Structure 1
């Protein structure tokens, strides 16, 4: 394979982050402010209206930058736009008789622009309190569009510049500025009304929850796009048959969860807002990740705090000492318990309960050897790069070479990358390369590859498992889940050489290993020969299945979790 150039890769990543960061967005804004001031001074002392062209061009550039993706943020580059309005005023005053309509229009446009910061602050105070909770009031209308205000204000600035440059039609600038200020005032009144509605809901919240009598809550706080963490558990928590609600800490998470359950969803932002949600009937709190904000709820000692996590793997986060803060850690099998001890994290045995992975209850078990399948279908399910360097296990940078090798052997492919792969420009690019490769091969050779929305949205992880005869992955919880099927799998060693891989990640004892350490792909053909041929690890997989996923009868696999959870309710 051709190794990527580290320097170029780092630069591309930095540039991508800069373009999407708040700091990056401020660079062009600051440039407009400085250059706008220069143009303003030149307009005051110059002898030509041509000095109005630089600020006008820069204003258009700023709008193009800010509106990338079809949105504009209220409160962005206020100073720049005020400078441009001052430039418009001076153009009219210095280079001709100032049109009173233009002067008033500039003043109104400036008021509209200055109102954005206050409007944004009031709008931030409009947020949902609850959904699906009887007696708490209706969910607040979130149709406020402060960005529309910024868009209209930007138009008012540009119209004022054009009118000043031409020394004509000042009344048009006045009309547009009046409309912009009117829209800002109307949006502000809407925001104030909805803030009052939000406060009214908050005053009813504790009484509504007390009357609802929930037995447990589920606390979830996570970055946008990670709803899979809680989505995998909600169906089983609902099967407990007890009243519960989901407590989230951001509006993004609120909107994601509301689309997943009919149970009440409550949003509380700060630590000081949580007392209102601890209803007297509550007995337990469940968690599906180790978010720092979990501490805010774990301090309530009258509740049993149970960590479910969102998958079991040999990754570093799976033996984080933070698991000690929970009364119980529900784990899939003995492997999860031993993992803590093997990595020097002392945890009393009574802190663990083996419950299996109920999410695999519908995963089909292999019925025969893979060698008997003429054209096997292989699932490629790579993980993402992780938040930190020590948890970067993604094989996506060598993914194309793996896919090419599978296709060359007559395999069809199901491609389902981790959702977080899109957070990295580099990994997102590799995902797109693989999708293109599979699309081209499907057109050319008719192989029934599955990828894109079909594999990542329409199908569940279990569906992908059942649609495959073997799997290629890396250090990921999907490997342990796939073990339930007893089908063969390959793991790609990225963080350590293949020789050290089974020691660092014990689940690799049940799989065939491809060495991708240092970006160099080795052992690919040998691993695929074993995966698709004699499969010498079939017996090992059967033995490790109980170790990783619990020795639980198949006909009561999910029920075992429900029974254990019910003990705390």
Structure 2
């Protein structure tokens, strides 16, 4: 590929992160407004109403509403829904209500007045604590020369909880005849904890800055040959986890570069290799050690652009699966120097969809993750009670990538169970992000649990299928599979076992044209949300299996013509060329 074009594209993409980051901040602000600001505003309005009632009421019973409100706010904080700096105005108003109750409805206890002031000071300090706490984040883990385990952010939620208790104590003392010293004592503890946590946070910020100052020197001394850049939403660690064992088998020093704290803690639990956190574009210079030769990517996250701008590195996209989905032929793949793909099908997919990609940008390396997938040893018709894996995808980020069959999955699983099949149910991890898909997952799990209890069939679902077992384990535990448009379908092709694809986005008649892998699949029509021809498809799928030959032919096309005994080695050899 013309390096001038590569450089031009990199320069262009490197100039866009500001806009992308602004969009991300805007989305976060909206989410924050819905998730935090609205409940806080409701507390403030209710607290103001309680304050007015306490001021004008003729009885101390008017302290009951603000006390109940304070108790509710305390419970909300206890459940982890509020951190320091949340609902400051509302809690200050509640404190003012306690003061007024003591002043208007009796002789004001000086200790109570001081307690209210001390509690108010503690609460007003929370925004400072919250601001400082945001600046406390880990820099690295497992990196020689960077000290012990990185500091975590101070527990600001605990501060909010104790300060809430101080508010409640002031209201109780104002409502009852308890001495104000109780409120003062609780307020003193709250202020002490707030100040201690703030000082602790300031020290951790200084420690973080000290680590950042020596990060490049530590990486230079470590001499990594390549880095792996990963940025993704929480709960997406599978994207990286599938590649880490093979990257480690390269036998070269490397580190994982992540862009948010959630990803950092996820990756630290996956590898003993160094993990480095750099959140801003201007922080990436700190990790480009002189020894680096290549950067690997496992998704097409926008933040990949922050590293691709370093033209002294070879940028290699691995992706986290191969399928006929729209994202698999996204023009964004052009910005990488090399795209490692499973087979010729991935290359042809771009041309078939009008995306011009020079041949030299691709390397066929197979899907090393399927090296331990067992190949079928007997026809499906000879198995009396086959075990079927149901592995539906999720709804996707956009409407044009919604291929999930979960909305009709219950009826499919019910039909399989009625035929005496046992089921392994492993939905996509993102399914829980959609309330509708999450409900369908629960319905299917309930169906399988009831049948296992009633008929004793060895269904596998829940944590056993989704956590304890890998995808390959699920493949090997099944005799056939039902899915939709998903990368697990191409991977399952390696087993040569029969599989069903559910046509959701287009009618079954046009499905193989839109998704060529369906030429080796039994297709259930669910276009428009209604199942059609289910029984006829299952008859072939679990019976004579007329597509067995087609699956063997497409296996090489999608997964590469690579000898089974050296299947993963193809990837290792190709990756080593750039190191």
The aligned counterpart of 1:203 is 213
Q: Give, in whole Å, the separation in 1 of the partners of 2:53 and 2:82.
A: 29
Please list every run of 5 or more consecutive structure 1 residues that lacks an aligned counterpart in the other structure: 1-16
Distance across 1 between alignment mates of 2:71 and 2:355: 57
Q: Given the superposition, is the C-alpha separation of residues 250 and 143 from structure 1 closer, same or farther in structure 2, using an over 3 Å criterion?
A: closer
After TM superposition, list the pairs within 5 Å mapping 1:445-484 onto structure 2.
445-484=455-494
Matched, 1:35 2:51: no
Which whole-Å CA distance do the structure 2 matches of 1:338 and 1:273 have between them? 38
Q: Does 2:317 correspond to 1:307?
A: yes
Moved over 6 A (4+): none
CA 1:25/1:355 → structure 2, altered by over 3 Å: closer, same or farther? same
The Cα shift of 1:349 comes to 1.0
Q: Please state if 1:106 is matched with 2:116.
A: yes
Once the 2 structures are TM-superposed, how far is the Cα of residue 51 of structure 1 from its aligned partner? 2.4
Cα distance in 1 between the residues matched to 2:136 and 2:124: 20
* 1:38-77 equivalent positions in 2, closer than 5 A: 38-68=49-79, 70-77=80-87
What does residue 193 of structure 1 align with? 203
Q: Measure how far apart 1:299 and its partner are.
A: 0.2
Q: Pairwise mapping of residues 87-98 of structure 1 onto structure 2 (< 5 A)? A: 87-98=97-108
Task: Find 2:500's aligned residue among 490, 507, 515.
Answer: 490
Aligned residue for 1:330, secondary structure, equals strand
Moved more, 161-170 or 501-510: 161-170
1:439 aligned onto 2:449: yes
What pairs with 1:219-230 in structure 2 (closer than 5 Å)? 219-230=229-240
Equivalent pair of 1:383/1:475 in contact (CA under 8 Å): yes
Q: CA deviation at 1:31?
A: 2.0
Supply the distance in 2 between the matched residues of 1:35 and 1:526 (Cα, whole angstroms).
61
DSSP-derived class of the 2:302 partner: coil
1:285 aligns with: 295
**Which residue of the partner structure matches residue 126 of structure 1?**
136
1:63 and 1:523 map into 2 onto residues whose CA distance is: 56
CA–CA distance in structure 2, aligned partners of residues 39 and 208 of structure 1? 57
The answer to whether structure 1 residue 386 and structure 2 residue 401 are counterparts is: no
The CA distance in 2 between the partners of 1:33 and 1:194, in whole Å, is: 32
Which residue in the other structure is 2:526 paired with? Answer: 516
TM-score between the two structures when normalised by the length of structure 2 = 0.93
Q: How many residues align?
A: 551
Match for residue 6 of structure 1?
none
Q: Is the 8 A contact 2:133 2:153 kept in 1?
A: no
Instruction: Find the residue that maps to 2:295 and give its secondary structure.
Output: strand
* CA root-mean-square deviation: 1.5
The answer to whether structure 1 residue 526 and structure 2 residue 536 are counterparts is yes
TM-score by length of 1: 0.95
Name structure 2 gaps, 5 residues minimum: 1-27
> How do residues 308-323 of structure 1 correspond to structure 2 at under 5 angstroms?
308-323=318-333
Tell me, in whole angstroms, the C-alpha distance in 2 between the residues paired with 1:45 and 1:449.
65
Distance 2:177 2:575 in 1: 75
Residues 85 and 130 in structure 2, CA contact (< 8 A), matched pair in contact too: yes
SS at 1:274's partner residue? Answer: helix
Distance in 2, Cα, partners of 1:490 & 1:39: 61
1:325 paired to 2:335: yes
CA shift for structure 1 position 397: 1.1
Structure 2 match to 1:152: 162
| Contact persistence 2:136–2:153 (CA under 8 A) | no
C-alpha deviations, 1:269-327, integer Å up to 9, x for none? 10111111000000000000000000000000000000000000111111111111100
Are 1:86 and 2:86 counterparts? no
